[in-house]
Structure 1
Amino acid sequence: MEVNQQARCRELAKSSSFYNTVYSEIEEVGWDHLVRAGGDLSFLIFRVLDKKGRVHVMEIQLDKAYPRVPPMVSADVPYIFNLKWSMNSRLKNLVQQFEKHLEKLQGFWSTLDEIDRSLQIVDSKQASRAIPSRQIHVGLTICYSGNDCFIILFIDINDPRSLPECRFMGLGNTVNALRKTWKRNVDKWERDKTFLENLECLLNTQLPRLADEETNNHLDECGICYAQYLPIGDELGPQTGSATDYTCENSSCSKAFHSMCLVDWLRSITTTRQSFNVLFGNCPYCSEPIAVKINATKN
C-alpha cells in the first residue's frame, strides 16, 4: 500500500512526457477520485459516484503511446460504453463519458438494489452491479419435499421494470409446480408494483426475506488493500490477521476498511486533520467525512 501516492506520481512526472501527461490529467480529474495507480502509471483505478450516491470503480489501462492509443476501460457495469476518443481527449473526458453511462443504468441498479435489500440472494458476495441476474431462495414453505428450490432472475438492463426471464432450479414436483404457477400468472406483472410484489403475485406465495443476521455478519473486503484480513506478521503487532473493523457511515457507501489501512491512507492526504489521537478526513470512496482513532492501529 502506497504511503503517498501523489508524491510518487509527481516524481514519475519528471522522468518522461508520458508520466507528465498522465500526472497532469490525474490532477484534472482530482486526486480524491484516484484509488490506486500502478508503479509506472500504466494502470489507474478511479472511483466515481452516481446520482444515487453509489460508488463505482473504473480501471484504466494506458499504453505508453497514450494518448495516441486510446485507453482500455473496465468497470463494475453490465456493459462498457463505446469510448469516444481522439488525440485531444484526456482522462477527464473518459470520466465524463463514464458518468453519463452510469446515468443510463440508474433504473437497472435501483431494481437490483430492491432485490438485494429484500430477498435472500444465493452467494450474495458474488452479486455485483455488473451482473444482470440474481439467484434467490424460494423457501422451505414451498419446498416441503426437503429439496432446495431457487429462482434465477435475468433483469432486462434497458427495461428493468419489465417481466424478467426466469429459470427454476431444483428437484421433484415442487419446481414443476412453481413453473406452472409462474406461467399461469405471467399476465399479472405490473410495472407500477414493486419487484417483490410482482414476484410473489406470480408465484402465489411469500418469498423469504433477507435475514438481519445475514446483513450484520457479512464480511467485506477492505476498500484500500482489497483483502478481508490483514496479513499475519510481527510488524503489524496486535492488528495482525485482523478483519475489516471500520465502515463508512454514509448509507449509500458503507464501504468497509481496516482501521490501519485507513489511517495510512488519511496520513497520505494533505487535507487530513488530527486532533489528539483521532484523524479527520474523507472516505476514499464517497468523500463523506470520517474519523479514525490512531490508537486502534500500530504506531
Structure 2
Amino acid sequence: MKSKLSPLFWSALVMVLALVLALANARQGETYFEEQGFVSPDISIGPIIGYFFGVVIVIALILFFIPLGKLRLVFRVLFALMFAWGVLIISGFSLPMWASYTLAVIGGIAWLLWARIWLHNILLLVTIAGAGSVFGYLFSPLTFMIFMLIIAVYDVVAVRFGFMVWMADRLSESESLPAFIFPKKLRDWTAKLHDVKVGELSEKKSEEREQSILGGGDIGFPLMLAVSVFYQTGLPSAIIIGAFALAGLMSAYLIQLIWLKGKPMPALPPIAFTSLIGYLVVRFVY
C-alpha cells in the first residue's frame, strides 16, 4: 500500500509547491503589470482551442513521420530553453536580472547535459509555475474554465484510444517528456531520464511499475485557472480553486487505485470537475 500511495503524495506535493510558486510570482507580477499599465487582453476561447489542438496535431505529425534519431537533439534543446525560460520567469521578479539569467542558463544546460529524474521534476515544476503565473493573466476565469472542460474531454478520448500513451512514449524516447516522474524507490530519483519509457510502464501491472507518470498539464491547467482567478478576485479565491483542484487530483489517484486497478487514466477530468465546483463556489458563494 505504501508504494501505491507514494505517487499520490508526490503529486500532491508538486501541486501545492507549484501553486505556491505561481501565486507568489503572480503577486509580484501584478505589481509590475500595474506599474507598466498592462491590461489583460482576455483572450477568447476560440484562439486558445485552435492553438492547443494545432500544437497537438503538429507534434503528433512530427513524432509520426520524423525518425527519433533526428528529433532527439531538437526536442532536448527546445526543452532546455523552456526550462531556462521557466527559471527566468520565477526568479525575475525577486533577483537581479544578471542572477536570473545565470540561474536560467545553468538550469537549461544542466538538464541538457545531465538529465536526471529529480532535476527534470524540479525544473518542470518551476516552469509550469512560471507559465501559470504569466498565462493566467491572459484569460478570464470563465474562459479558462471552459477551456479546461474541453481539454478534459479530449484527455478521456486520447487515453481511451491510446493516443496519449503513444505520444508520451515517443517523447520519452527522445528524452523530452513534459510530465512528472515519480519513482517508487528514493534511490531511483537519481536515475537518468533516458531510462524512463512510458510505453513499457503502461504494459506492466501497477505493482510491477518502477515509476508513475503525471502529465504536466494536469498541474499546469488548474494553476492557470487559479492565477486567472487571483488577478480577478484575489488570493483567497485562488487558494480555494487550488484546494478544489488538489481534491480532484487526489480523487484521480483513488479512482485509478480502487476502480481501475492501476490502469492508466486521464487525471485532468476529475481535476477539471472539482475545479469547476471551486469556480462556482468562488463566483456565487464565497
Higher helix share: 2
Does TM, normalized by the shorter one, top 0.5?
A: no
Larger CA Rg, structure 1 vs 2: 1
Q: Name the TM-score, length of structure 1 as normaliser.
A: 0.24
Identify, as 1 or 2, the structure richer in strand. 1
Higher relative contact order (CA 8 A, sep 6+): 2
